[in-house]
Structure 1
Amino acid sequence: MSLLSGDDGMAMSKVVRDLVAGPLSSHQLLLVTDDEAENLLDVGWILASLGPLAPPSVFSTSNSLLHIHYPTSHIRGPLLATIFVFHNDPNTFLDLLQTNQEWNPKYLVLFCLNDDVNTTRVISQPLVQRSERILMLQMVTVNEKLSFKTYTSLPMQVNSRGKKLVKTPLGTWRPERPTTLESIFPSRFDSFGGIILQLSSWCDDTPFLYYKDGQCTGENIDALTIISHKYNFTFYVQDKPADERWDSKENGSWVGLMAGLMYEGKHLAPNAMLLNEENRREFDYTYPYQTEGFSFLHRMPPPLPQWKNLLYPFTTTMWVAVLASTMLVVILLVFLLHVVQHLHDPISFALKVVAGLLHQSVDMREVRASWARVWLAWWWVSVIIVLSAYTSNLIAVLTVPVYPKTIQTVEELAAHSTRVMMLDYGNFVPGALKTSSHPALAALGHKLELMPYDSDAMYDHIFQRMEAGGYAFLEFSSYLFYLQKHYNFTAVSYIMNSQIYSSLLVWFLPRNTPYTPLFSHALMHLREAGILSHLFSQHLRTTIKRQDKNKAASGGGQLKVKQLQGAFILWVLGLTAAALTLLLEFLIRYY
């Protein structure tokens, strides 16, 4: 073991001071020392020499650090730099600290004060490799002169002999040279050295991952391919998880895609998975690249009877308003004119005013009072507006079927007799619904039926049940849209406006993966450039089969009798009323 003098301790203190005052000047500082280094390092002199430039700092010994809890956002944040100064072999301490899953400083400086310590083993420690940026300084003595060698770690790259560059030299620390944060913390993952990343994936996630011509493709596969070309890696796509489960936690253990990351050594899960409170605590994740949720697919209810087509352009309230205003105008006008100018036939005049609703004209010579003419002029202007609205809406009603009000909110669905189906593939939604504190969501959870995920015919069975009525289908929104198109169910179904558990789509990685920020930034750039939205639309269009059958009814075309049967019914009613009137007149005249 090296014996250090007071001058050596001052030299080490100056190096720490130069780091803090230079490239780390904009960062808060966490300084950790072992017992030997605590005696050698002059922390008081470091702070005094910095003066007002001293950053907010926390000092701790290695033993104390094991028992102190620091907020995750602080330890892993970009504003904190951690300097660990050690004289003795720190591997036992690092092994103990490794159980703390929150320990993952972005900027980590390892300062070794003993050239007898195997620093290659230290920098290879899994705990050390969690950090995104690593700088190691190792004290060396050459010709009785003290100097400090600097290293970083490039674990994905190899040298000409095929050896991994776990400990890569950067040169000798020279305080007289200007240094920047980037120069002492070079990117560790500019190249992955051609390694093969193992994906925890499921190629049944249209349009994100799906099979086409025997190959797994999709929006996320294309995005990952672009990233792989930039960072020099390839990837192996898993067809589906062995347990055919998605991403939930069952009996305290993760299943499906998350189990691949947690227990099977997979590197990345690129499927469309929502970020929630549970998975964000136990896994790394990228910046969100899209928002999604879960939606409900319903069968359209039968259209309303077509013999009522003449009534559908207006609501009941509108019909009441039109009839009431017409009666009020006619009765008041006829009464006032009869008082003022003594109408010879008030009933005939009233019928002529009402006829204005049918675009029938009225001889204004019968109305001599100026105020009455103004009254009628404004009344007919209002009538023209109402008739135009009725005629325009009637055209639409006659050519497109009118449906009753559909279920559009989770509250309406919870109160309705419709039951809900969902495939049982290990998603978190069924459990979340049943334990939800929201009354409507809890009610949906209790009437949710999980269908077995067992064969390609499972969707045929689901759509047959929906065809029979009484069921809604719950699924991921994008995938539900694809299924609706793929199974020619668009014309007879609709997707509810309300979504549940709408959240952010991210890619997941194992906890404390040092290259998580690299994938985050890459996805962000693809999103900002519009590439992800283009890929999403392209793959969604590719997977939707164009079908001519069961297309929704559209405007135009020849009108059929059943569409105008209301007019014929009205005509028959008119003929019946005329016949009854004729019979009544005949009886009055001759009897």
Structure 2
Amino acid sequence: MTNVLLIQPILKPLALRLLSNTPYSPGRSDRVKSLKTWRGEPMPHKHELFPDKLVDLHGHPMRVVTFHFPPRIFMEEDSDGNYNLYGVDIEVVRSLSKALNFTVSFVRPSDGEMWGWEQGNGTWTGLMGDLQHRKADIGVADLYIMEPYFAIIDMSLAYDIEYLCFVNPVPGPLPQWMALGLPFLVETWGAIFCTVLVGMLVFTLLAQMGFLGGHLHEAPWFQNGSNTCLLLVACVMNTAWTRVPTTSHLRIFMALWSLAFVILAVAYKGSLVSYLTVTLEQPPIDTHKQLLERGVSVGSIGDTLKRIMEKNADQHVRKLAQGYEQVQSTSEGLRRTVEGEAGHVLRTEVPTLKALHSQRHRFPALAPAGSFSFLESRGFLDYTIAVDYTDGRGRASLHAMKEYIAPFGIGLAYPKYVPFIAKFNRMIRRLTEAGLAEKYMADIILRRKQAKIGAAAEREGDQKERLGSDPESGVTPLSLDNLQGGFILLALGYGLGLLSAMAEGLFALATRPSESLARR
């Protein structure tokens, strides 16, 4: 308690001694402090009777319970067995300790759990349990300010905002043969197909009208409709003309036709090169509806987030909560997510070209469903994916969904009814208004990037030293996988040509007896 006033009568001379407590005094002898001796003069002001006793905590030791949870908290052990702690949440606590003059000692949860969860008798384990049983003064570990916690602990104002979302496996690249159709949208392919059909009809009609109009000097080759169609297809493919018309109306038509398809061919070739050399990834799952349609079970640590999902305004989130499963740690949740993807690789559904082009800039999720999707904060997922689930080429194997369940404020946790909550809140409000939380996060990201770049440069230097030169020239030749679309078309042409030859041969054999009989 901080606002305590003690009144002690003094008989000689007749007066009243006013005293107060100093709850965070450095020694036991200083815990009672004399404020004033009152001898009948006007009563003291309120600020004299109840001074601010939390402006200086006189180095009072505070026990802070936390654990390793990047990028909020890094707990790295050195060679001497000591822990080097840093991170956004750690820096917030240290800023408060400097401003209010108290000392901190960081400890892990006494039972080895992380946040913990509620037991059947109403007690909690982990960090929450230590605060509930007053084994610590402050708890910090990416703590969401949520209503279920207030039954056992108190929490501060939010000093940062975090978003709760699911993580899913990255579905992987599309088959390379689909690159042949990706340069154009489905509507463009439809327009080209219709244009070719209409152009064949118009050109055949113009040729026949020319012959009927007396243009007999035109080559008889153009009287055949299949010949004119073959000529137009050759122009579409930018190949040389097999025949050249002599009449003006056909030449005008052919000139404009060739010019139009030169433009289309150049655009197609330019885009095709990029799709052949750079593999297009399948769109990942990004909405709760897509996750629900694929029958994926979800889960996280404890069941607190399950209760949050059950009360969510989105009906898809409430249905996902029915398949919620508890996991013991973040590593287990991520492992189950990755293994779920591995178990469904053989059941990958190849997306259609129409599905890909229907939303070029906002792909639907076409990935195979994994068996489990882990739920955690976006900051933690983005960091973990970048550090642990991204290969040397920068390709990630996990993807954090864009759609999130809800935003949550991040705050400090305390045992119930501790006296310094209001004072801490005022200091936290100043900290957030100054933008220090964002600065702490930027410094952490920069520090991790510099460490990763330094390690990569060291490995590259060692590799160059072993090889004596650059290990790679930077040029990657196209493989059979890149060009599989062309070979598939070639095989299709071989097959269709063989089938047509067989059909013509069978037709000739079937009609030959009737022809000989007609001659007789």
Normalised TM-score (structure 1): 0.60
Aligned to 2:140: 270
Is 2:127 the partner of 1:257? yes
SS in 1 for 2:130: helix
Is 2:373 the partner of 1:473? yes
Aligned to 2:487: 568
Q: What is the CA–CA distance in structure 2 between the aligned matches of 1:223 and 1:367, rounded to whole Å?
A: 85
Quote how far apart the aligned CAs of 1:564 are: 0.6
Is the contact made by 1:209 and 1:271 (CA closer than 8 Å) also made in structure 2?
A: yes
Measured at CA, do residues 355 and 167 of structure 1 come closer, stay the same or move farther in structure 2, by a change above 3 Å?
farther
Quote how far apart the aligned CAs of 1:517 are: 1.9
Q: What is the CA–CA distance in structure 1 between the aligned matches of 2:231 and 2:17, rounded to whole Å?
A: 106
Structure 2 counterparts to residues 348-387 of structure 1, below 5 A: 348-360=227-239, 368-369=248-249, 373=252, 377=256, 383=261, 386-387=264-265
Aligned to 1:505: 410
Aligned to 2:63: 198
Is the contact made by 1:421 and 1:450 (CA closer than 8 Å) also made in structure 2?
A: yes
Task: Identify which range, 577-586 or 533-542, moves more after superposition.
Answer: 577-586
SS in 1 for 2:190: helix
Is 2:171 the partner of 1:295? no
Is the contact made by 2:114 and 2:126 (CA closer than 8 Å) also made in structure 1?
A: yes
Quote how far apart the aligned CAs of 1:488 are: 3.7
SS in 2 for 1:274: coil
Is the contact made by 2:21 and 2:31 (CA closer than 8 Å) also made in structure 1?
A: no
Q: Which structure exhibits the higher relative contact order, with contacts defined as CA atoms closer than 8 Å and separated by 6 or more residues?
A: 2
Instruction: Write the letter of the residue equivalent to 1:535.
Output: D
Measured at CA, do residues 209 and 580 of structure 1 come closer, stay the same or move farther in structure 2, by a change above 3 Å?
closer
Q: What is the CA–CA distance in structure 1 between the aligned matches of 2:10 and 2:262, rounded to whole Å?
A: 101
Aligned to 2:189: 319
Aligned to 1:218: 86
Instruction: Write the letter of the residue equivalent to 1:368.
Output: S
| Post-superposition CA distance 1:132-181 (Å, at most 9, x none) | xx6979899999999x999887543458x951366656999999x9x9x9
Q: What is the CA–CA distance in structure 2 between the aligned matches of 1:274 and 1:376, rounded to whole Å?
A: 69
Is 2:291 the partner of 1:413? yes
| Post-superposition CA distance 1:406-436 (Å, at most 9, x none) | 32211111121333354xx435113434566
Q: What is the CA–CA distance in structure 1 between the aligned matches of 2:497 and 2:282, rounded to whole Å?
A: 34
Quote how far apart the aligned CAs of 1:505 are: 1.5
Measured at CA, do residues 530 and 275 of structure 1 come closer, stay the same or move farther in structure 2, by a change above 3 Å?
closer
Is the contact made by 1:430 and 1:448 (CA closer than 8 Å) also made in structure 2?
A: yes
Is the contact made by 1:150 and 1:172 (CA closer than 8 Å) also made in structure 2?
A: no
Is the contact made by 1:200 and 1:257 (CA closer than 8 Å) also made in structure 2?
A: yes
Cα-Cα RMSD: 5.0
Is 2:353 the partner of 1:445? no
Q: What is the CA–CA distance in structure 1 between the aligned matches of 2:448 and 2:161, rounded to whole Å?
A: 16
Is the contact made by 2:173 and 2:281 (CA closer than 8 Å) also made in structure 1?
A: yes
Measured at CA, do residues 189 and 243 of structure 1 come closer, stay the same or move farther in structure 2, by a change above 3 Å?
same
Quote how far apart the aligned CAs of 1:289 are: 2.8
Measured at CA, do residues 223 and 581 of structure 1 come closer, stay the same or move farther in structure 2, by a change above 3 Å?
same
Aligned to 1:394: 272
Quote how far apart the aligned CAs of 1:309 are: 3.2
Measured at CA, do residues 306 and 162 of structure 1 come closer, stay the same or move farther in structure 2, by a change above 3 Å?
same
Measured at CA, do residues 387 and 278 of structure 1 come closer, stay the same or move farther in structure 2, by a change above 3 Å?
farther
Q: Which has the higher strand share?
A: 1
Aligned to 2:469: none
Quote how far apart the aligned CAs of 1:559 are: 0.4
Q: What is the CA–CA distance in structure 2 between the aligned matches of 1:518 and 1:461, rounded to whole Å?
A: 42
Is 2:75 the partner of 1:244? no
Q: What is the CA–CA distance in structure 2 between the aligned matches of 1:367 and 1:191, rounded to whole Å?
A: 101
Is the contact made by 1:248 and 1:426 (CA closer than 8 Å) also made in structure 2?
A: yes
Instruction: Write the letter of the residue equivalent to 1:235.
Output: V
Structure 2 counterparts to residues 515-530 of structure 1, below 5 A: 515-525=423-433, 527-528=435-436, 530=438
Is the contact made by 2:302 and 2:327 (CA closer than 8 Å) also made in structure 1?
A: no
Choose the corresponding residue for 1:230, options 89, 99, 109.
99
Quote how far apart the aligned CAs of 1:235 are: 0.8
Quote how far apart the aligned CAs of 1:443 are: 3.0
SS in 1 for 2:115: coil
Aligned length: 444
SS in 1 for 2:140: strand
Is the contact made by 2:26 and 2:60 (CA closer than 8 Å) also made in structure 1?
A: no
Is the contact made by 1:246 and 1:427 (CA closer than 8 Å) also made in structure 2?
A: no
Is the contact made by 1:285 and 1:506 (CA closer than 8 Å) also made in structure 2?
A: yes
Identity of aligned residues (%): 17
| Post-superposition CA distance 1:431-484 (Å, at most 9, x none) | 434566743223322323333449x88865764454334333314233333443
Q: What is the CA–CA distance in structure 2 between the aligned matches of 1:388 and 1:172, rounded to whole Å?
A: 101
| Post-superposition CA distance 1:224-258 (Å, at most 9, x none) | 22332233221111212426251554444444323
Quote how far apart the aligned CAs of 1:381 are: 6.8
Quote how far apart the aligned CAs of 1:334 are: 4.5
Choose the corresponding residue for 2:439, options 531, 539, 544.
531
Is the contact made by 1:306 and 1:562 (CA closer than 8 Å) also made in structure 2?
A: yes
Q: What is the CA–CA distance in structure 2 between the aligned matches of 1:385 and 1:531, rounded to whole Å?
A: 51
Is the contact made by 2:306 and 2:324 (CA closer than 8 Å) also made in structure 1?
A: yes
Is the contact made by 2:303 and 2:326 (CA closer than 8 Å) also made in structure 1?
A: no
Instruction: Write the letter of the residue equivalent to 2:93.
Output: L
Measured at CA, do residues 544 and 296 of structure 1 come closer, stay the same or move farther in structure 2, by a change above 3 Å?
farther
Is 2:233 the partner of 1:332? no
Measured at CA, do residues 170 and 479 of structure 1 come closer, stay the same or move farther in structure 2, by a change above 3 Å?
farther
Is the contact made by 2:5 and 2:49 (CA closer than 8 Å) also made in structure 1?
A: no
Instruction: Write the letter of the residue equivalent to 2:373.
Output: F
SS in 1 for 2:248: coil
Instruction: Write the letter of the residue equivalent to 2:85.
Output: T
Q: What is the CA–CA distance in structure 2 between the aligned matches of 1:361 and 1:504, rounded to whole Å?
A: 68
Is the contact made by 1:155 and 1:166 (CA closer than 8 Å) also made in structure 2?
A: no
Measured at CA, do residues 575 and 321 of structure 1 come closer, stay the same or move farther in structure 2, by a change above 3 Å?
same
Is the contact made by 1:136 and 1:152 (CA closer than 8 Å) also made in structure 2?
A: yes
Is the contact made by 2:72 and 2:380 (CA closer than 8 Å) also made in structure 1?
A: no
Instruction: Write the letter of the residue equivalent to 1:210.
Output: F
